[in-house]
Amino acid sequence: MNALGDHKRSIAYANRALGRMKALRQPADPRSYAAWFTYATKCSPSQNRIVDDTIARAGGISIAELDTIYGYGPTGSVADKAGDLAAGLADQLGRITATMDVAVGLVTTYRDHVANVAGRLDHAMDQDALSGAIDNLLRAAKGVEAKHDALATSLQLSKREVTRLQQKLESLRTESRTDALTTLANRTHFERQLDRCMADADEASVGLCLLLMDIDHFSKINAAFGRAAGDEVLRTVSHSLKQHLQAHDVAARVGGEEFAVILPKVQLRSALTVADHMRCQVMGIQLIKRTTGESMGRVTISGGIACYRQGERPWDLMRRANDCLHAAKRHGHNQVICDDE
């Protein structure tokens, strides 16, 4: 598609997203817009149906529900924590700066004192005057030493606090891009990584495949065994997906029971091999409900793979992969279909 057509389509998606936000009186913030723009692109039809069903049943939908459906992280809490950590770091840096200022002033004062004593020594004519000058110098040196120890202790405490805050910032950075239940990437991080991988594929003219996978009959698992058991299934499937990832691959939970795997520098047939290994590993797991020891049977997953076409938009690639995923479900589940089939 040419740039003009792509622009017009993007604007149409944006207008549709804003229209839904206005109709449902949703807050006009980036978090809400991101979910509704995803809705507008129709790149995740099954998730869109959940949104439509929720609105039909309840007369509306909350931002928290949209986050859960589309797999976006709790950005509000992350932003609050980031603000608190930034304030803490600024406070510690202020303390360090103040301590360094005191240290510089202390050195300057001691230097002036030494210069004064040296001048007195130049003119000292008797033993008493010489002894007095030396005593003054020793007292000044001891005073500097005591203050230096106090400043060193203060700097050490500030250094420890800065290290602690930096570790919390790194933890927060991980939290902001990770799905808490599965520890896979969340949808926000997935979308950023997909943009990056597509740009890399354009630049280097290398292959790129997107795999979308969905747990078969997941709603029945929740209904029969409860949400806690469903969460355990999600964690188990996520762990199985991780076993087949290379260092440059990106796996994410992009919705309730939907997963996405970005496979850079991989051709379609190789991507199908990876996806089938994932599917077979999940199918081979016998799940037991921890609280009761009850067998939950075997869980299966279906998948769809699309190969990136140079210049297309992320939601077009996702839509094609999603079409393949739903074809796999229509043809009996527990299989993977590529977009060349």
Residue 261's beta-bridge partner residues?
211, 251
Please give the Cα distance from 52 to 66 (Å, whole number): 11
Neighbours of 93 (CB within 10 A): 13
Q: How many CA atoms lie within 13 A of 147 on its CB side?
A: 17
In angstroms, the CA 58 to CA 305 distance is 34
Pick from 85, 261, 71: which is nearest to 177 by CA? Answer: 71
Query: Amino acid letter at 91?
Result: D
Q: At what angle do helices 187-204 and 314-330 cross, to 10 degrees?
A: 110
Query: Known catalytic residues?
Result: 257
Residue 171, both tokens: 């933890």
Three-class secondary structure of residue 335 per DSSP:
coil
Which residue has 């290398």 as its token pair?
206
Task: For residue 53, give both structure tokens.
Answer: 């069903």
- Give the Cα separation of 216 and 302 in Å (integer): 7
Task: Give every CB contact of residue 183 below 8 A, 6+ residues apart in sequence.
Answer: 238
Q: How far is CA 139 from CA 117, 127, 132, 142, 150, in A?
A: 12, 18, 11, 5, 17
DSSP bridge partners of 212: 260, 304
